[in-house]
A and B are shown apart, each in its own frame.
Chain A
Amino acid sequence: MSHLLEVKNLDVKFDTDEGRITAVENISLTVDQGEVLGIVGESGSGKSVTAKSIMKLNPGNTSYNEDAEIILDNENVLQFTSKQDLKKIRGGKVSMIFQEPMASFAPAIKIGAQMVEQLLIHKNINKDEAKSISINMLKRVGIADAEKRFNQYAFELSGGMRQRAMIAMALSTMPKLLLADEPTTALDVTIQAQVINLIKDIIKEYQMGVIFITHDLGVIAQVADHVAVMYLGSVVEKGPVNEILKNPKHPYTKGLLQALPDINNLDAPLSPIPGNIPSPLDRPTGCVFRTRCPHHNPEGKDGKIEMKLIEVESGHWVDQCGIQCGQNG
């Protein structure tokens, strides 16, 4: 069976005044229908850039490598250049939910008008039909008085409500793939729990594929089926969520888990990962994590081991340098 989305050997580089920055290097991922792929990593690890590449939303100074492929529904998105083609993916086959819902709605246009506008672009329907689809969708995501909210502006809604409206808008065109970029980060825990449950229900109901980006391993544990751990533009470990969280192999994944305060285990000390994430301008050669790796693997430390994912168990892939380091600690 072919995958809903297949990203192969993707590099993303930005040309800036200070030089060419490698934001993402050699990433391969797949997402199936009805599957949630979680991407975790610190700020600056290239999570959002990867997601935006799928919609070709990266800025004009971006370059992709020649042999990269992003195959969505049997078409290579990277080869799309015409507005017509891009329209098919942006908001059509793919929808995106952003972290800050206030910034994603236009402030001076009513929420309903924004929902109707995108439906009219992507679906062959009239205004009344679009309105009723929108209102139904607002009801579906648990917004009380959907008719009233439809005629309000984004600032009149609270944070949780805005995020629900954003989800309703993203889903109303029935995309095949949903990109959720830190959708719960700006929310309080009680509202976060509501939104996570809502997203889970909706995925089940509509059987769409989802890429869920977050820095919170707890949220990943709750929603994802598969996880990719990113560090400085590279995937260092990927596999089924249970495997990654319970049996991590890469020192970076282990470090992330040890740094996380766990309310069920208050006696465990919090151990930070030493050092800082290097600037993408001086990205280390060889293993990208070697400048902060707590385990001294002499060859990896010198940057002599190339980045390459190796399957250690069925479906569980780890960077080869990290396998050796992981065994040391």
Chain B
Amino acid sequence: MGDNLISVNNVSVNFDYQENFISKKQKIHAVNNINIKIKKGSFFGLVGESGSGKTTLGRAILGANKISSGNVIFHDDERDYELTNMNKQDLKEYRKKAQLIFQDPYAALSPRMTVRDIIAEPLEVMKITNSRQETDERVRDIAAKCRLNIEHLRRFPHAFSGGQRQRISIARALVSNPKFIVADESVAALDVSIQADILNLLKQLQTELNLTYLFISHDLSVVAHVCDVVAVMYLGHIVEMGPSRELFKNPKHSYTKALLSSIPSIDPEKRSEAIELKGEIPSALNPPPGCVFRTRCPNPGVDCKGGEITMGLTEVEPGHWVDQCCVL
């Protein structure tokens, strides 16, 4: 297992839900029985519609959501961190090594702190640096890597555009020298021209600083461009996973196919060949038994319509996994 950085083993995340105080307690099955391995130095993409559990899974891997069952292991050079079995000291160490970049660069930065203070905060909170001088040095160093000017550091976030703010966010995530970054819809709020800039920056930082990313996005064209490996999520399950080029060229699961065909083509002559999915994603309170996608599947088989086929990934080609319901 030397080349994996993160192993996610049978992870499920449930949330308790009670409509009002007299009604029965129910469980929301946000993430169900997920197994993924993230290789060192890879750009791992997680795609799916809203409500598919991408963010919950990302947060669970960071230890920000409680894992209901299963385990996440972070393979560091000297030792492994087992997420469900960590004491406070370990958790502190882990947080230095695994960081999060948020979606909305307008909400993620405190308006009352200067850019320097925003970027320096993790160093101070985690007590990584010993003197103000050392902190300043690291802040300047990482700011330069994220293409921020020294004079930017004295200003407040309101003086910056969306793209620049996102670079501040990235600098803050990277200042503690992490190895693993979860980027949760980090380009979704940006204009296309700026989106391209941030994606290029993330790629460049990856080689420069030896980073591994979990890149969460709903935009398949973006994921196809930057990620090496992609997992497609639907209603808390991974329905297809594989090397990104293989998966996008040769999708096997009906949901992946439908998603790909729904991307509006830039060619006006290729209008709407979209496989239209009827209806919407069902509630995670009562997911359909068996294959979770069968209620919207455009060509369901006889067995899966009855929900008789359980969810489970099968390897169709080396490294390309598809939910068994769609393989049969």
| Residue positions of A touching B, CB distance < 8 A | 42-43, 158-161, 188-194, 196-197, 200, 215-219, 221-222, 224, 241-242, 245-246, 255-264, 266, 270-273, 276-277
Is A191 touching B280 in the complex (CB atoms < 8 A)?
Answer: yes
Interface residues of B in 187-201 (CB under 8 A from A): 191-197, 199-200
20 more A-B residue pairs beyond the given contacts A192-B262, A256-B193, A272-B193, with a C-beta to C-beta distance below 8 A: A188-B50, A188-B218, A189-B220, A189-B262, A190-B262, A190-B277, A194-B277, A215-B191, A218-B263, A218-B264, A218-B265, A221-B266, A221-B267, A242-B268, A245-B268, A246-B268, A255-B193, A259-B196, A261-B199, A261-B222
Is B200 touching A270 in the complex (CB atoms < 8 A)?
Answer: yes
- A241 contacts across to B, CB distance below 8 A: 268
1/0 contact string of B197-209 vs chain A (CB within 8 Å): 1011000000000
CA distance A217 to B192 in the complex (A): 10
For residue B203, give the distance in angstroms from its CB to the closest CB of chain A: 9
For residue A279, give the distance in angstroms from its CB to the closest CB of chain B: 9
CA distance A64 to B327 in the complex (A): 62
Q: Is B259 an interface residue when CB atoms closer than 8 A count as contact?
A: yes
**B49, closest chain A residue (CB):** A188
CA distance A262 to B221 in the complex (A): 6
Q: Is B284 an interface residue when CB atoms closer than 8 A count as contact?
A: no
CA distance A225 to B263 in the complex (A): 19
Q: Is B15 an interface residue when CB atoms closer than 8 A count as contact?
A: no
Known: A215-B191, A218-B264, A221-B266. A266 touches B280 (CB 8 A): no
- A270 contacts across to B, CB distance below 8 A: 196, 199-200, 225
CA distance A241 to B197 in the complex (A): 26
Is B264 touching A222 in the complex (CB atoms < 8 A)?
Answer: yes
CA distance A222 to B264 in the complex (A): 6
Is B222 touching A160 in the complex (CB atoms < 8 A)?
Answer: no
Is B221 touching A261 in the complex (CB atoms < 8 A)?
Answer: yes
- B200 contacts across to A, CB distance below 8 A: 270, 272
Looking at B220, B248, B264, B276, which has the most chain A CB atoms within 10 Å of its CB?
Answer: B264
CA distance A272 to B164 in the complex (A): 13
CA distance A219 to B265 in the complex (A): 8
**B191 partner, pick from A43, A221, A264, beta carbons under 8 A:** A43
Return the 3 tightest CB-CB contacts between A and B, nearest first: A218-B264, A272-B197, A270-B196
Q: Is B274 an interface residue when CB atoms closer than 8 A count as contact?
A: yes
Interface residues of B in 225-284 (CB under 8 A from A): 225, 245, 248, 258-269, 271-272, 274, 276-277, 280
**B47, closest chain A residue (CB):** A189
**B271, closest chain A residue (CB):** A222
Q: Is B18 an interface residue when CB atoms closer than 8 A count as contact?
A: no
1/0 contact string of B266-309 vs chain A (CB within 8 Å): 11110110101100100000000000000000000000000000
Is A257 touching B222 in the complex (CB atoms < 8 A)?
Answer: no
- B248 contacts across to A, CB distance below 8 A: 263, 266
CA distance A221 to B265 in the complex (A): 7
- A194 contacts across to B, CB distance below 8 A: 276-277
Known: A197-B274, A221-B266, A272-B197. A263 touches B221 (CB 8 A): yes
1/0 contact string of B137-172 vs chain A (CB within 8 Å): 000000000000000000000000111100000000
Q: Is B34 an interface residue when CB atoms closer than 8 A count as contact?
A: no
Is A266 touching B218 in the complex (CB atoms < 8 A)?
Answer: no
Q: Is B28 an interface residue when CB atoms closer than 8 A count as contact?
A: no
Known: A261-B225, A262-B221, A266-B225. A42 touches B267 (CB 8 A): no
Is A266 touching B245 in the complex (CB atoms < 8 A)?
Answer: yes
For residue B155, give the distance in angstroms from its CB to the closest CB of chain A: 14
Is B163 touching A221 in the complex (CB atoms < 8 A)?
Answer: no
For residue A145, give the distance in angstroms from its CB to the closest CB of chain B: 12
- B195 contacts across to A, CB distance below 8 A: 259, 272
- B36 contacts across to A, CB distance below 8 A: none
Known: A255-B193, A261-B221, A263-B224. A190 touches B49 (CB 8 A): yes
Is B192 touching A256 in the complex (CB atoms < 8 A)?
Answer: yes
Is A260 touching B262 in the complex (CB atoms < 8 A)?
Answer: no
